[in-house]
């Protein structure tokens, strides 16, 4: 019998991520729970695009993310730039010591993104931003 | 006549020696055997001893005289046909001659007789005799020929009937057709009715799929065969093959007609059956091949081997097995046997396996999965009855959780002796019997091996199952638990047996935690997540710290995802090999592909390798024509000091 150590791709071990979409005072909030990687990043792409169309301020809550990789960084950087171009904003909740903050640090994009400790802080910053505007 | 028949003997009867001598002399030139008798009694004895063509009988003899002797000769059925010539004294009155004829004489000669006349008469009778014999022989032969002819005519008629073949003859000048009995039969006409003229008769046949009328074949100038549909007077349609052959005299045509409807239907039915069998065989092989090679688990602690051997009868059975790695890192091992053979069993097997895979995505308790499978089989495949054993293995602890629906007990190697895990069973799937859905838990120690198998491995005709299990444990007792091809060894151990049933064997060796791992996986980004689970667990098993393990895993996954995307063109099946070695607080991971590096087209980004480099102590890339090798070195045990990251250009 031939032994073929290949994988048939049906292993039920895809990374699991749950996405919650809500609106708080005119801001769209997208919260992610679980793991995000190159294999499932599309679960985040659609809600992010929808939120960006619906609202001038999108809050991306990554505080419950347990794994994040460069595909998420690419998506967030691109969406952030897109929103900024039409005077809207992507605010990312990535508390210090969390996985997301660590990955942003490793990727060197920290300074180009609007990072916050909590969702409340991100929402409050919105009001300040409007006042400033 | 030059040749005498062997029975052409002449019997000469006379009581006087001088008369006998005279007759001998007269007959001598005829070269015919002459037998002499000296009395009536003598003569009768000779007649019964041999065949004679003629008797020359003296009338005046003592005791039995000539007439009395003749009377007896004529009465005996064996001798009554032999002609008798009476010999009598010259002075005998005429009345006696008349008496001679009354006793059946054919002639009457007075003594002393004229040798010429006597010879002539004898010759005539001998010739008559010979001719009679020949005629009788010819008659006999003729009779035999007639019988043979009759037999062969019957045989021909039988053959025609059996082959549904009729013969016919056609005279173009008159338009008349003569046909055999079967010819009438095929045309649906009574045997004794006169046949219609040829053109009318053959117009009932349609040739070329109904495009031309059959009477066209009467104009055929040479031998030919036609196929067509014959419409009979009763409306039925028969498929016929007609052979036509003009005779050499060109005045008549002869031919045959054969009704091949039944053969064609039988052939079609046979083709349908053969086609169905062939399709079934292909389908069964398809099902079986889907089952035969499950993915092997990533977990370095688990070494799985499997072997499937079809039955020698080439009828595929319903044995199956499967191996799944759960998101939490546990491994599910399933083995089952669907009762029966062929397509039904194979399709049920494939269905059960698929249902098992679907159920295991939302449920990880073996008893629960088995219970739901039973519900599925009972509803969806009420025709099916199947045994199944499901085992969940946790590589971290060696804990095995098992649910067994009527399947054979798993066998464990590695201890002092071979163990059979004979716990109480639930009934097989698809039975209405009540189920306890019990789950048993035991520990598979490091270096031990659990073997699951189907009944083909142990069951032998006319033997109790216990006997087969006992033989199996004896045969495998000396096998090494860590043999990478243990399943093959198990099947090989029974190779000498007459395997009427198919055999499936699945083995799980618990290697314990090892500081070395090696994996080969398809270059597919969907493989990255399970790889992450495996490596994460592996590093934790050796005391890894959460954050450092996550950084190392991130680096590895970025490198692997990079290889999936860059090394192989879309649609190309490539593989990636991951090797890991733990030395103290350090881990070295090597990712190798054998593809060609392709610059990523049209996508901005490429944060991956930069992140990987930032997350580890060292990352080196070696790109060659034969593929790319990336080596990552990382410390996976120190607690991270701060959030700062080395600055980069």
- Tens of pLDDT, residue by residue over B311-339, are 765 566 788 999 998 887 899 999 999 98
Model pLDDT for residues B381-418, shown as the tens digit of each residue: 888 889 999 999 998 888 999 999 999 999 999 988 89
Would the pLDDT of A131 be above 60? no
> If DSSP states are collapsed to H, E and C, what string results for B484-534?
CCHHHHHHHHCCCCCCCCCEEEEEEEECCCCCEEEEEEECCHHHHHHHHHH
User: How high is the pLDDT of residue A15?
Assistant: 64
User: How high is the pLDDT of residue B147?
Assistant: 81
User: How high is the pLDDT of residue B586?
Assistant: 92
User: How high is the pLDDT of residue A130?
Assistant: 44
CB B164 within 8 A of CB B260: yes
Task: Compare B517 and B112 and report the one with higher pLDDT.
Answer: B517
Would the pLDDT of A127 be above 70? no
Task: Specify the range with the lowest mean pLDDT, choosing from A31-45, B454-468, B474-488, B595-609.
Answer: B595-609
Model pLDDT for residues B606-625, shown as the tens digit of each residue: 688 889 999 999 999 998 88
- In chain B, the percentage of residues whose pLDDT exceeds 70 is 90
Q: Does B505 touch chain A (CB under 8 A)?
A: no
Contacting residues of A for B606, CB less than 8 Å apart: 70
Core vs surface per residue B599-619: b (16+ CB within 10 A) or e: eeeeeeeebbbbbbbbbbeeb
Would the pLDDT of B302 be above 70? yes
Q: At what angle do helices B366-380 and B342-360 cross, to 10 degrees?
A: 140
Model pLDDT for residues B434-451, shown as the tens digit of each residue: 888 888 889 898 899 999
* CA closest to B303 among chain A residues: A5
Reported confidence tier of residue B506, pLDDT bands at 50, 70, 90: very high
For residue B461, the SS3 value is: coil
- In chain B, the percentage of residues whose pLDDT exceeds 90 is 28
Model pLDDT for residues B242-300, shown as the tens digit of each residue: 989 888 777 888 898 988 888 888 778 777 777 777 776 676 666 666 666 778 888 88
| Least CB–CB distance from B558: residue in A1, A70, A109 | A70
Model pLDDT for residues B153-205, shown as the tens digit of each residue: 777 777 777 777 888 999 888 889 998 888 998 999 888 888 889 889 999 99
| Least CB–CB distance from B522: residue in A3, A7, A107 | A7
Task: State whether the Cα torsion B75-B79-B84-B86 is positive or negative.
Answer: negative
B550 to A99: CB separation less than 8 angstroms, yes or no: yes
Which chain A residues have any C-beta within 8 angstroms of a chain B C-beta? 1, 3-16, 35, 37-40, 67, 69-71, 73-74, 77-78, 96-97, 99, 101-103, 105-109
User: How high is the pLDDT of residue B80?
Assistant: 85
- Furthest C-alpha separation in chain A: 73
């Amino acid at each position: 019998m031939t032994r073929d150590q290949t994988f048939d791709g049906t292993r039920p071990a895809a990374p699991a991520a749950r996405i919650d979409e809500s609106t708080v005072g005119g801001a769209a909030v997208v919260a992610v729970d679980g793991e995000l990687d190159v294999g499932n990043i599309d679960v985040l792409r659609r809600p992010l695009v929808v939120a960006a169309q619906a609202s001038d301020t999108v809050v991306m809550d990554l505080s419950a993310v347990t794994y994040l990789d460069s595909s998420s960084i690419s998506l967030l950087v691109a969406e952030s730039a897109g929103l900024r171009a039409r005077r809207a904003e992507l605010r990312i909740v990535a508390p210090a010591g969390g996985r997301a903050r660590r990955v942003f640090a490793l990727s060197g994009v920290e300074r180009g993104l609007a990072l916050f400790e909590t969702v409340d802080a991100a929402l409050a910053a919105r009001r300040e931003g409007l006042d400033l505007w | 006549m030059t040749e005498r028949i062997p029975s052409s003997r002449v019997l000469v009867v006379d009581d006087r020696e001088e008369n006998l001598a005279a007759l001998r002399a007269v007959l001598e030139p005829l070269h015919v055997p002459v037998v002499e008798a000296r009395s009536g009694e003598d003569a009768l004895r000779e007649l019964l001893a041999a065949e004679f063509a003629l008797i020359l009988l003296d009338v005046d003899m003592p005791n039995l005289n000539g007439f009395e002797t003749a009377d007896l000769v004529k009465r005996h059925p064996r001798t009554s046909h032999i002609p008798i010539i009476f010999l009598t004294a010259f002075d005998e009155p005429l009345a006696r001659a008349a008496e001679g004829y009354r006793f059946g004489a054919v002639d009457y000669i007075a003594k002393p007789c004229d040798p010429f006349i006597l010879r002539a008469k004898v010759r005539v009778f001998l010739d008559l005799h010979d001719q009679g014999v020949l005629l009788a022989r010819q008659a006999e032969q003729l009779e035999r020929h007639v019988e043979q002819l009759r037999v062969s005519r019957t045989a021909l008629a039988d053959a025609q009937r059996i082959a549904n073949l009729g013969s016919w003859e056609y005279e173009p000048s008159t338009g008349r057709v003569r046909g055999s009995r079967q010819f009438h039969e095929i045309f649906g006409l009574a045997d004794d009715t006169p046949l219609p003229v040829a053109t009318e008769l053959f117009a009932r046949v349609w040739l070329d799929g109904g495009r031309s009328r059959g009477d066209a074949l009467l104009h055929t100038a040479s031998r030919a065969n036609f196929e067509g549909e014959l419409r009979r007077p009763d409306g039925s349609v028969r498929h016929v093959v007609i052979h036509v052959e003009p005779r050499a005299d060109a005045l008549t045509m002869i031919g045959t007609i054969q009704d091949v409807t039944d053969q064609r239907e039988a052939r079609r039915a046979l083709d349908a059956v053969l086609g169905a069998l062939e399709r079934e065989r292909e389908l069964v092989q398809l099902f079986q091949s889907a089952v035969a090679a499950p993915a092997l688990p990533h977990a370095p602690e688990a070494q799985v081997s499997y072997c499937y051997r079809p039955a020698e009868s080439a009828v595929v059975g319903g044995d199956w097995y499967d191996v799944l790695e759960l998101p939490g890192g546990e491994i599910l091992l399933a083995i089952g046997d669907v009762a029966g053979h062929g397509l039904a069993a194979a399709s049920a097997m494939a269905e059960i396996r698929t249902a098992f895979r679907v159920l295991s995505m939302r449920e990880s308790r073996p008893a629960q999965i088995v219970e739901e499978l039973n519900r599925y089989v009972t509803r969806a495949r009420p025709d099916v009855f199947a045994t199944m054993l499901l085992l969940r293995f946790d590589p971290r602890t060696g804990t095995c959780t098992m649910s067994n629906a009527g399947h054979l007990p798993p066998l464990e190697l590695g201890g002092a002796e071979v163990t059979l895990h004979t716990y109480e069973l639930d009934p097989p799937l698809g039975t209405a019997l009540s189920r306890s859905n019990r789950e048993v838990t035991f520990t598979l120690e490091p270096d031990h091996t659990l073997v699951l198998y189907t009944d083909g491995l142990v069951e032998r005709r006319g033997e109790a199952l216990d006997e087969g299990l006992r033989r199996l444990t004896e045969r495998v007792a000396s096998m090494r638990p860590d043999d990478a091809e243990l399943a093959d060894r198990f099947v090989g151990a029974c190779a000498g047996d007459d395997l009427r049933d198919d055999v499936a064997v699945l083995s799980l060796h618990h290697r314990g935690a090892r500081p070395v791992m090696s994996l080969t996986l398809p270059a597919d980004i969907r493989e990255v997540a399970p790889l992450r689970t495996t490596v994460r667990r592996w590093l934790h098993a050796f005391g890894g710290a959460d954050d450092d393990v996550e950084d190392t895993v991130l680096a590895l996954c970025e490198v692997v995802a990079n290889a999936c995307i860059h090394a192989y063109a879309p649609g190309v099946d490539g593989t990636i090999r991951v090797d890991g070695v733990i030395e103290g607080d350090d881990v070295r991971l090597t990712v190798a592909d054998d593809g060609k590096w392709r610059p990523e087209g049209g996508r901005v980004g490429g944060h991956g390798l930069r992140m990987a480099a930032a997350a580890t102590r060292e990352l080196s890339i070696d790109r060659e024509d034969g593929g790319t090798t990336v080596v990552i070195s990382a410390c996976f045990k120190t607690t991270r000091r701060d959030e700062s990251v080395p600055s980069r250009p």
